[in-house]
Structure 1
């Protein structure tokens, strides 16, 4: 038994020395016992007294989809402002900005015809697309699998409907990489082929799932001439597979689709901001946030209602545990991430104009699933510090602490001094719901959501303790 206690004492001493070595470039030495106790308290509070699930219920089911410029987006702004005032944050305010205002209009229609038989298929207009003519468009289909393949066909595309049908790579474990490998056809497909006089563009939905739920998302014409802009829609993966199969048998089949979307003048909106003032460095900021807007097909529960309520919960958990931060901790509910990124750009613009010093920023925009870790985008001197936190996160399943992208909304803050973090939950189910009508509150697990809020609060606590 004596030897056992000697071994334990040696292990504790080794961990302590190792932690001191790993954090030698910081102003403080990692206090493993104190930090692990605080993190445990944050998790206990989130799991027994959490409010994030209750808030998400209201945001999703009482307000619903929150497309920029919509009445629902404005209701969400008012909800966020009131909630943070009710939580008694030190300061709460609205940051005005102008946002794109695109509307879907009546439900889309589509079918293809073979030997006078119609096959109805689910589609949805992509955000930013123009409408079809009043009576829709009908034409033969050319299937392609990349922007390059479409470009190479050139004039052969004229008068046709172009069908971009590159699927996710199912061998990629990190599903965001699969998304990144396909999303260019959604964002740029119409712009690339518009100059060839095509009738329209149909794009395979961005998901691993084979189902009948089309996934919307942003597309862009950029600065091409008006006469090159063509209507663009997403088609469900199940329908995409059927269309591809039938094209092989009937290359001259006719495809029809009709949509009624419209881009209105930019509309006024807001970022919603709340903060707890720092006790030592009130003019240095740690920002945590997600995006308040969502697409209109579902209620935006995972994308990004989860990130919104988790970010607000971070500040509430700190207050509830009597943690008085050294830096000012600021939560930002960004507007217009989905189809413009105006909120993230506006926040960074105002921060620069006001000479604000941002030490770090954390974004949650990957759904409300089981926590897996964090990515960080920072200068090299802080890497050892961040990696030294891994033993503190390990008991909570947060093993993936790696260099990577912080987030779209906090990206405009990037500089040589700020550290950007992205909260990373398990991604395997995210693209089942992303931008689809299936992104609804019932798909969110209460415990997973609360674990994510506690994970984020723990990271913010460590950032506040060890970064100056």
Structure 2
């Protein structure tokens, strides 16, 4: 027993000494000012993890409002919800910024099937945003499978009267799944425009996901400059359905694929960006914006895309107020409307910022889900990019190792100029495309602790940006 006790005591001393040594090394590596910053960032994380509000805000948004497609009643309810919540948090001012948005509706649940070897197979399918409907009886035609837009273009008039099936899968060797998404999303966005030009009857697209499952992923598409008389219906089928259909086409290349959808494009509808701010204590004319998009697709609850980004953005302001951090520059929280099918809210915000001669010196967007924080991508000039990268030693203790040059976000990118520093929050992306644009994007898929860590991560980098990108003389836009 004495031997065991001695072993435990020795182990305790070893780990205690190791911790002290680690703290000493960190202290030696940080300046006095950096130690102060480290302390403040730690307090932001402590507050988020112990007293955070984001998870319950998200529960309210997703469970009581749900999917929030631009122009819908739910989107308007979300605007009212966002305005009320910002006021409850105690921001210095809150207002609504009017914007006209597209209004597309899905209509009745879509249907798809085909018959092979005397057996009918039902297909998990959903219309793509902005697509037209099929005729009321649906459409049926032979299928031509392609892997790319170029392969489709090469078919030319051979696709006339056919349904073109785009079946390029994610490149799963890409560690960053957004790169895999970017590598194949063009077939979803432009497929109908390419095939409509040559008289195709319709387009079906493999869902944008790493997984093989039976949940179709919606998303926006465009007819580009195609004349309206050449518009054709476009839909996504699940990745599992795509695998099965591809195999069945090899067995029977002339099988008839049937699908029916009743979606419709209505006239533009009035909506709003929701804006609130904490006035800067020293240079209020300089603005840092932090935000996400309030709208979502209609199949799920818009939890990861982008309910998490909305609540995390507001929690940045909440954490500042909770910890009595008074930003030198104005901190503005924006819930952007219509990112999913038009980015009208982002464009209107940037337009008004220019019209009002506002001086935005930085921006941060969260629109990549609410999973475990990994880091930030930076869109800025070389000097400011290097400055943000130098903060790794302050942020790495919280798992924020990936801080590097890259894009920011669809809603803040219209603000870009040579002086502004734009940042994208980057959580782990491995599970994101399991849920993205599907019926699975629901509140229960969000982990409370991961969400709160994300809020604190965003608050941490905004704290540093406000302190070290602060300038007494506003830079002319």
Residues 25-104 of structure 1 aligned to structure 2 (within 5 Å): 31-104=33-106
Per-residue deviation, 1:415? 0.2
Per-residue deviation, 1:31? 1.4
Post-superposition CA distance 1:70-112 (Å, at most 9, x none): 0000000000000011111101000000000000000000001
Alignment match of 2:367 (pick from 365, 368, 380): 365
Post-superposition CA distance 1:144-175 (Å, at most 9, x none): 00000000011110110000000000111000
Post-superposition CA distance 1:347-393 (Å, at most 9, x none): 00000001011110000000000000000000011123112210110
> Are 1:355 and 2:352 matched, yes or no?
no
SS in 2 for 1:31: helix
Query: Do 2:133 and 2:261's aligned partners in 1 also have CA atoms closer than 8 Å?
Result: yes
> Are 1:133 and 2:147 matched, yes or no?
no
Give the length in aligned residue pairs. 451
Q: TM-score, structure 1 length as denominator? A: 0.95
Post-superposition CA distance 1:123-145 (Å, at most 9, x none): 00000000000100000000000
Distance in 2 (CA, whole Å) between partners of 1:12 and 1:121 is 57
SS in 2 for 1:352: helix
Alignment match of 1:300 (pick from 291, 299, 302): 302
Moved more, 307-316 or 106-115: 106-115
Q: In the alignment, which residue of structure 2 is the partner of 1:105? A: 107
Query: Do 2:365 and 2:425's aligned partners in 1 also have CA atoms closer than 8 Å?
Result: yes
Residues 50-449 of structure 1 aligned to structure 2 (within 5 Å): 50-449=52-451
Alignment match of 1:460 (pick from 453, 458, 462): 462
Distance in 2 (CA, whole Å) between partners of 1:173 and 1:11 is 32
Per-residue deviation, 1:114? 2.0
SS in 1 for 2:257: strand
Distance in 1 (CA, whole Å) between partners of 2:452 and 2:197 is 49
Unaligned 5+ segments in structure 1 are 20-29
Q: CA RMSD in A?
A: 1.4
Using a 3 Å threshold, how does the CA distance of structure 1 residues 13 and 178 change in structure 2: closer, same or farther?
Answer: closer
Per-residue deviation, 1:12? 6.6
Distance in 2 (CA, whole Å) between partners of 1:394 and 1:13 is 15
Distance in 2 (CA, whole Å) between partners of 1:214 and 1:13 is 51
Unaligned 5+ segments in structure 2 are 1-17, 471-477
SS in 1 for 2:438: coil
Distance in 2 (CA, whole Å) between partners of 1:39 and 1:100 is 40
SS in 2 for 1:338: coil
Distance in 1 (CA, whole Å) between partners of 2:419 and 2:452 is 31
Distance in 2 (CA, whole Å) between partners of 1:384 and 1:154 is 49
Using a 3 Å threshold, how does the CA distance of structure 1 residues 8 and 152 change in structure 2: closer, same or farther?
Answer: closer
Distance in 2 (CA, whole Å) between partners of 1:274 and 1:247 is 54
